[in-house]
Structure 1
Amino acid sequence: MSKKPKIKISLVDKKGQGHCHHGHKIGDTFDFDTQRGKLCSMAMHVAFPYIDILRYGGELPQNEDGEMLFCCSDVDVINVFKIEALE
């Protein structure tokens, strides 16, 4: 069985007018294996299915720049995260 890839999650944009209730800011990055507790639970709830797909060899839809993005579920903030599987 091959080793599962490391997962990196980065906050890359913000669409809403509010401030993140967890204090995240654009440029924050998280290593899923060692820092998952630092990522807001609302963002983590959205991220987990994507993490699972990447960990087990699946592929996610990419935007026109080849990035895999998702948004947190906080309608006042709408933080945009990039998720990457690192070898």
Structure 2
Amino acid sequence: MGKRPRIKLTVTDRRGKMGCHRGHHIGQTFDFDTERGEICPMAMHCAFPYIDILRYGGKIPGQEEGTAEFCCSDADTIMVFKAEIVEDEEANPKL
């Protein structure tokens, strides 16, 4: 098996009456491998199954190939995230 693909997480929406307790906001992006410590633990708990599905060749029914949309488990403020495989060219842009 080859190298695991890189995964980018992006906050795409917020639903609920309160702001994110961790301070996340729409448009914020994270590299899963290098910045996961900056992501709310509740969101990371929800993210892990989707990350594994994407990294090992799976597909989420009803979602675009190479992507997975999910939300954190905080009922006060539901932050919606999009996980996506980062292609090598995107991960290492040519200068």
> What is the CA-CA distance between 1:71 and the residue it aligns to?
0.6
Gaps of 5+ in 2: 88-95
1:16 is aligned to: 16
Counterpart contact for 1:61–1:68, Cα < 8 Å: no
> Comparing 67-76 with 41-50, which one deviates more in the overlay?
67-76
Higher RCO structure (Cα 8 Å, ≥6 apart): 1
Aligned length: 85
C-alpha RMSD of the superposition:
1.2
> What is the CA-CA distance between 1:58 and the residue it aligns to?
1.1
2:85 is aligned to: 85
TM-score (norm 2): 0.83
Gaps of 5+ in 1: none
2:2 is aligned to: 2
Q: Secondary structure at the match of 2:77?
A: coil
**1:29-68 alpha-carbon deviations (Å, 9 max, x no partner):** 01001000000000000000110111111112344xx352
Runs (4+) of structure 1 exceeding 2 A deviation are none
Structure of higher CA gyration radius: 2
Percentage of matched positions with identical amino acids: 60
Q: Higher strand proportion, which one?
A: 2
- How has the CA–CA distance of structure 1 residues 29 and 73 changed in structure 2, closer, same or farther, with 3 Å as cutoff? same
